[in-house]
Amino acid sequence: MTVLQQPSLKRSSGANGYSTQSVAELLGLSESRIRDYVRRNLLTPQRNLNGHFRFSFQDVVFLRAAKGLTDAAISVRHSNRALTKLRADLNQLASLSAVRIYANGSVVEVQDDDKAWEVESGQLTMNFSLQELAANVAEMAKKAAGGETKALADLDSDEWYNLGLDLEEVDPLQAPDAYREALRLDPFNADAHVNLGRLYQLSGDLRSATRHYQLALASRPEHQLANYNLGTIFDEQNDCDRAEVYYRKANSVPDAHYNLARLRELEGDEINARRHLRLYHRLIDQE
């Protein structure tokens, strides 16, 4: 199993997400209503360095659904029950930009590309697609990447990197350009190299992916995802010896140990295969 890892986490917590005012203007909700959802623990946004809320795209999706329930005059009891379940459902989705939330008779359903499921019983009349919302949030991400008043031309490398992460959620085709701009401003931004390399790898361009992983390791040899993802490239090419070298350097990535266990098992080394499986399960339990 060679599982490609998710993007590196944002490094600049002060610039992440969207302000209460931006979300309120986008969705047509009052700021007090948004804060009420937070007080009721239906939302747990991050805070910036000044202590102000910063909402993720997933939070925006949740609030759009909450507004639909309110507009449809659903009771508070039914709304709370549906929103609690919806929050758990959204956490399981890899991508939100193709999601639809709608009513099927008296049943609230969520549908993505290949399945639909009930959120909570209750008569509902809302029916909306998140495609348009995703486009709006992509534009808002560009405006908010460096802060409420900062123009794109003034963003630094980390802020372009953060914008790339946001765009992966809502406008994936533009995400590579954001990472490239981050690297233009700082060629040693290892996280940007890793995420751009991962996008190249997902598109099948292994040569470019390898180059960016190697550039990441040139500036940060201990970078766990760069080592792991480079290992997956060699693994895919059946170059097990080189894959093992990089998996061993990614010792905090659970799947690195899973893959090492598989390689050891192929060689008939059952003792070390079991050892790496134990390490895999230990790291999974810690996540």
pLDDT tens-digit profile of 17-37?
678 888 888 788 888 888 888
Higher-pLDDT residue of 57, 159 = 159
Strand, helix or coil at 110? strand
Contact 74, 122 (CB under 8 A): yes
Could you tell me if 141 and 168 are in contact, meaning their C-beta atoms sit under 8 angstroms apart?
no
Range of the domain at 108: 13-133
- Check pLDDT > 80 for residue 115: no
Closest CA to 22 of 68, 64, 54, 70: 54
In terms of C-beta density within 10 A (0-12 exposed, 13-18 middle, 19 or more buried), how is residue 133 classed?
A: buried
* pLDDT at 189 exceeding the cut of 90: yes
Separation in Å, CA 121 to CA 70, 78, 183? 15, 8, 49
38 falls within a domain: yes
Range with lowest mean pLDDT among 78-82, 144-148, 174-178:
144-148
CATH number at residue 119: 1.10.1660.10
Give the model confidence (pLDDT) of 33-73 as tens digits. 888 888 888 788 888 777 788 887 778 877 877 777 677 66
What's the CA gap between 261 and 238, in Å, rounded?
Answer: 15
- The total number of structural domains in the chain stands at 1
> Quick check: is 221 in a domain?
no
Task: Give the C-alpha separation, 166 to 250, whole Å.
Answer: 26
Question: Which parts of the chain fold into alpha helices (H)?
Answer: 20-27, 31-39, 57-71, 76-91, 131-144, 157-170, 175-185, 190-202, 206-219, 224-236, 240-249, 254-266, 270-286
Question: What's 117's DSSP letter?
Answer: E
The predicted structure's pLDDT at residue 119: 56
Residue 181 lies inside a defined structural domain of this protein: no
pLDDT of residue 204: 92
Mean pLDDT of all residues in the chain? 76
Q: Give the count of alpha carbons within 13 A of 110, CB side only.
A: 22
Q: Establish if 28 belongs to a structural domain.
A: yes
Inter-residue contact 103 to 124 (CB < 8 Å): yes
Share of the chain above pLDDT 90, in %: 33
* Per-residue model confidence (pLDDT) at position 91: 63
- Residue 228 domain-assigned (yes or no): no
Is 44 within the bounds of a domain?
yes
Residue 146: per-residue pLDDT: 46
pLDDT at 13: 40
Q: Is the pLDDT of residue 134 over 60?
A: no
Give domain status of residue 70, yes or no.
yes
